[in-house]
Amino acid sequence: MSIKKVLTPRSQRKREQILAAASELFMSQGYMTSMDLIAEQAGVSKQTVYSHFKTKDDLFDTCIRAKCVAAEFTETALDHSLPIREFLCQFAYRFQAMLLSTEAVLMFRTAISQIDNHPDLAKTYLAAGPEATVILLVQFLELKQQQGIIAIPENMTLEQAAMQLLLMWHGKAVYWRYLGQETQELETELHHYLDACVDLFLAGYQVDN
């Protein structure tokens, strides 16, 4: 069992400087940016960068996870006590807003750009972002199924049910944004679409009282 290292305030500040610099450089220059440049922009030594992050993949992974935390998209930030529809709608709003952010779009493009030269980067991206999000939603759906609020068919897994929602929640807006195009949809229109996705899901799986 590994023990998480407790950082001093000074060391924590340096870690945050490194993450900020790395995030900016990954977005502006892609994955080809160097650890030397990250150290220079963070105002720390290269040795300090490696003392916090063993590899560039590790740093990329942490940048993505930090984005999820900043978007309040973590288990501790989600209120499982909310009524199921309200929870899923809030989850959807945060999820789509995160996907539409400039940082998320550029991180996705960075991973895609390295598919041929550095395929493991896509695995890092999937683990830190999409797969972590699926786990969050599966945990909630599992709880609601145990409470008898929803019933997922036996020929489906909770992960498949979660994927149905997550893929619907991308919507036109996300796919267009990732291709550099805008749909000109207002936030209210985006939310109406997401609400409809939740209602469709619950119409299929919510247990009648």
Q: What is the pTM of this model?
A: 0.75
Task: Identify the pLDDT of residue 159.
Answer: 97
- To the nearest 10°, report the CA torsion of 195, 200, 201, 202: 90
What HEC string does the chain produce? Answer: CCCCCCCCHHHHHHHHHHHHHHHHHHHHHCCCCCHHHHHHHHCCCHHHHHHHCCCHHHHHHHHHHHHHHHCCCCHHHCCCCCCHHHHHHHHHHHHHHHHHCHHHHHHHHHHHHCCCCCCHHHHHHHHHCHHHHHHHHHHHHHHHHHCCCECCCCCCCHHHHHHHHHHHHHHHHHHHHHCCCCCCCCHHHHHHHHHHHHHHHHHHHECCC
Task: Identify the pLDDT of residue 1.
Answer: 40
Task: Identify the pLDDT of residue 71.
Answer: 58
User: What's the Rg (C-alpha) of the chain?
Assistant: 19
Q: What is the CATH number of domain 67-205?
A: 1.10.357.10
Higher pLDDT, 132 or 193: 193
Count of other CB atoms within 10 angstroms of residue 141: 22
Instruction: Give the chain's mean pLDDT.
Output: 88
The CATH class of 9-54 is: mainly alpha
User: Looking at the chain, which residues constitute the CATH 1.10.10.60 domain(s)?
Assistant: 9-54
- To the nearest 10°, report the CA torsion of 67, 71, 76, 82: -150
Tens digit of each residue's pLDDT (9 = 90 or more) over 54-99:
988 888 888 877 776 665 566 666 788 999 999 999 999 999 998 9
The yes-or-no verdict on residue 125 having pLDDT over 70 is: yes
User: Looking at the chain, which residues constitute the CATH 1.10.357.10 domain(s)?
Assistant: 67-205
Angle between helices 102-113 and 158-178 (to 10 degrees): 100
